[in-house]
Amino acid sequence: MLSIFRNVEKRYFHTGIDQVVLLVFTLSVLTFIITLFTSLPEPEFSLMGLADVASQVSFIMLASYILSKLLKQEPDLIMVILLSIWPWLYLTWAFFGEGENFNSWLFSGNKKILYIVYITYFFAAVCAAIIRLDYKKIKYYILVPIVCLVGIFIPLHYIYTGQFWHLAYDYDDKLSSYKNINQEDTYYKQFEFMADLKNTLLPTRKDKTDLYFVGFGSYAYEDVFMKEISYIKELFDNRFNTKGRSVALINNYKTVDEVPIASRTNLGMVLRTFSNVMDKENDIVFIYLTSHGSDKNYLSVNLEPLRLNSIRPGDLKFYLDYVGIKNRIILVSACYSGGFIEPLKDEFSVIMTASSSDRTSFGCGSKSEFTYFGHAIFREQLNQKFNFITAFQDAIAAINEREKLEKLKSSQPQLYVGSQIGLKLEKLGQDLEGTFNSNKNEKLVESEKSMPLNKK
């Protein structure tokens, strides 16, 4: 009744330690069942659920004590009122939301609008239930919301301890991966990788606009970023003539001995190496960064046990400006990546992001082959087209359609095209298409020559 704003007279409440214990037990059992259900099909138990319930009950007890002193009511009465509403809060969000409660990340998740509506509703229900104890006193309308907000709702959103159940995670497998990395060897091996790049990188060609490619997959815990970078580098080498002018930087335990790691330092060194051999006024660098992003405008960069710095728009701008690379295509595949556009844009740049600065993007995970953004651009569009701008525009339409079909909140991919680079990219696309078709015809001729003649 209290959770739907129905008035329950004070005389109907049975208060005391027995009622409080019973309500705390009810809350514990309910959270146990809900988190088990939301963790299927591979639930794993954690005692942190007890700490979660204990923290909630502790803040409810403290708020009840403060309100009892301010409003001259019995503390066990206020506590019974609050604990009578609390289980319904969990049950409702488990049905409409994502299971867990009181986590500040929910305010920026896929269901943030729903969560804001939901938490506002229950905050109002809690306040209304206490105010009704004596609705004629003005101080109730002021003190109750302040104490409930500051004493319960705000701190619980920032003291998240965990749940009774969560999806199973193979920590032993990850730990074995960490143990296989020799930190000193890995750090110094990067110099070998950069030296090899310097020795094998092809220089610019006269009377040609060359395309240089660097892929940066920096989140080690999910294979999708490694898969994307590996596929895209091969695509660009075979289709966009970047062989000898491309490099993949990847953070993954499967590739740490084979390719340079995706670190901020390595990215800067690769761009400096590119700048030493390219025609900086004419050639173009294509940079693709894929990882998890933050609404604080940075990309996650990790490869434990190594400690690596995250990537921010300012870092990328500094490296490009410092080495004098003018013509740039920069694609960022991450949540909240739209925040990269404003710091990087100029008349010689194309910048595309998987989402706006306040939206998440989709498709990450160890079992995924591509993010939605990467799939639309590289598997669909650039596998067929050579005009980059057209491919990017069509990819946005494809992503929007896919998210609509899957009933996902639009990620709102962003595209910025500088005023001085559009014609250059159109001409580059025409040249690349001509070269690709010419090479394909040559291979076809060679193949026909190598076929044995039919004997009569």
Residues 90, 31 contacting (CB under 8 angstroms): yes
Tell me, yes or no, whether 32 and 115 share the same domain. Answer: yes
Last residue of a domain, one of 114, 139, 167: 167
Residue that is last in its domain, among 167, 197, 222: 167
Residues 152 and 229 in one domain: no
- Coil, strand or helix: which one is 193? helix
The pLDDT assigned to 36 comes to: 85
Instruction: State percent of the chain over pLDDT 90.
Output: 59
Q: What is the pLDDT of residues 404-438, one digit of tens each?
A: 999 899 999 999 999 999 999 999 999 999 999 98
Do 202 and 284 share a domain, yes or no? Answer: yes
Residue 144 sits in the same domain as residue 238: no
Q: Are residues 143 and 194 in the same domain?
A: no
Domain that holds residue 265: 184-446
Residues 147 and 224 in one domain: no
Asked if 167 and 243 touch (Cβ cutoff 8 Å), the reply is no
Gap between the Cα atoms of 262 and 218, Å rounded? 5
Q: How confident is the prediction for the chain on average, in pLDDT?
A: 88
> How many domains does the chain fold into?
2
The Cα–Cα gap between 39 and 248 comes to 36
Instruction: Evaluate if residue 345 carries a pLDDT over 50.
Output: yes
Strands ordered across the beta sheet of 327-333: 246-250, 211-217, 284-290, 327-333, 349-353, 414-417
221 in a domain, yes or no?
A: yes
In this structure, is residue 385 part of a structural domain? yes
Q: Residue 137 pLDDT more than 80?
A: yes
**How far apart, in whole angstroms, are the C-alpha atoms of residue 215 and residue 333?**
11
For residue 300, pLDDT over 50 is answered with yes
Angle between helix 264-277 and 183-200 (nearest 10) = 10
Q: Are residues 148 and 195 in the same domain?
A: no
455 pLDDT exceeds 50? Answer: no
Q: What is the pLDDT of residues 74-131, one digit of tens each?
A: 888 889 889 888 888 778 887 776 656 787 877 766 678 888 888 899 899 899 988 8
The residue among 199 and 159 whose pLDDT is bigger is 199
CB atoms within 10 A of CB 406: 9
Task: Tell me the C-alpha distance between 271 and 325, whole Å.
Answer: 8
**Whether residue 331 has pLDDT greater than 90:** yes
Q: For residue 289, is it within any domain?
A: yes
How far apart CA 76 and CA 282 sit, in angstroms, is 76
β-bridge mates for residue 365, sequence order: none
- Residue 109 DSSP class: S
Pairing verdict, β 327-333 and 284-290:
parallel
* One domain, residues 144 and 285: no
Give φ, ψ of 293 to 5 degrees: -120, 170
Q: Measured between alpha carbons, how far is 49 from 46 in angstroms, rounded to an integer?
A: 6
Same structural domain for residues 229 and 133? no
Encoding tokens for residue 31? 């959270």
Tell whether the model's pLDDT for residue 232 goes beyond 90.
yes
Task: Identify residue 381 by its one-letter amino acid code.
Answer: Q
Task: Say if residues 263 and 315 touch (Cβ distance below 8 Å).
Answer: no
In this predicted structure, the answer to whether residue 454 has a pLDDT above a threshold of 70 is no
* pLDDT of 266: 97
Which residues have C-beta within 8 Å of that of residue 341, sequence separation ≥ 6?
A: 351, 353, 414, 416
Pair (235, 93) in one structural domain: no
